[in-house]
Amino acid sequence: MTRILLTGSTGQVGWELQRTLMTLGEVIAVGREISSCGLLMDLSQPDTIRHVIREVQPDLIVNPAAYTAVDKAESEPELAMAVNGTAPGVIAEAAKQLGAGVIHYSTDYVFNGHQATPYTEQDEPEPQNIYGKTKLAGEKAIQAVGVPHLILRTSWLYGLRGKNFLLTMLKLAREREELKVVDDQVGAPTWSRMIAEFTAQILSQGTQDLIGFLNKNSGIYHLTASGQTSWYGFAKAIFEFDSKRSEHKLKNLLAISSQQYPTPATRPAYSSLDTQKISRTFGLALPSWQRNLELVLGS
């Protein structure tokens, strides 16, 4: 049976992966807290990474864990780099020694946002903030090791668990009559469960020879819902689709510019990702972001 070591299982994607990966093998979930199997893996502590991988002897390591606080990363660059930039390389090294494969997640924030059409995997990254720089360093670290891997870049994740834009908007709509939301950053809101389901769907295509499959397909792939919108457009759709609309106090949703809502980290103005490569390679039909949202709010 395939042994799958999963990090970040308390996070948005990791939580969903715990369920979807179960169909592919035995999932051993580890994190910063001591797990039920007595293991602790803190990505800012390389020794704990090596120790856990040695103990578990996985066939596959799936790493959705990350330092994801985009604004806080500006004031904690060393910790963000340790978790997002250095740890993926340590994971990849340890996996290579064992003959295991790696699935890793990255972000649309590796791009500068100057384009007006979706970024492909060939486009040159140029991150505008510390978080994006550290995530790019993580991608490069994995690639440099040359372990069989998939790096899945996604964007604007949300779901009914964790800390995300959807839950913030739903909470604020019950508390406030007026909300101002940024309308000049464009991307693709993506449901965390969709990422986990497609990850499992891709891996299920390689169950006969997982390492051969990952070797053949190693590389970076863009994986998001299809279509694009602004944060304002996303907020508007959230309020329209919410089945509990009657509980909202909200009367006015106002579109503002990023200049009117300054944040410590600069965000790319445009970060839509072109998903043709992943759709073609693995035969995936990616749903629209609106379809994703309807499913989440209808559940």
Residue with Cβ nearer ligand NAI (78 or 177): 78
Residue with Cβ nearer ligand NAI (58 or 64): 64
Could you tell me the end-to-end alpha-carbon distance of the chain, in angstroms, rounded to an integer?
33
H or E stretch covering 229: strand 229-230
Residue with Cβ nearer ligand NAI (8 or 89): 8
Look at residues 56, 39, 35 and name the one whose alpha carbon lies nearest to residue 48: 39
**Which chain residues interact with ligand NAI by CB under 6 A?**
7-8, 10-14, 31-32, 42-44, 64-68, 83, 105, 107-108, 135, 154-157, 162, 192
Q: C-beta of 234: minimal distance to ligand NAI in Å?
A: 12
The residue with tokens 């690639």 is 143
Residue with Cβ nearer ligand NAI (66 or 220): 66
Q: C-beta of 171: minimal distance to ligand NAI in Å?
A: 17
Query: Rounded CA gap, 258 and 184, in Å?
Result: 6
Query: Rounded CA gap, 147 and 60, in Å?
Result: 11
Helix ranges restricted to H, 40-161: 46-56, 77-80, 87-98, 130-145
* Residue with nearest beta carbon to ligand NAI: 11
The set of catalytic residues is: 131
Contact predicate 162/11, CB 8 Å: yes
Look at residues 121, 151, 130, 12 and name the one whose alpha carbon lies nearest to residue 76: 130
Q: C-beta of 212: minimal distance to ligand NAI in Å?
A: 26
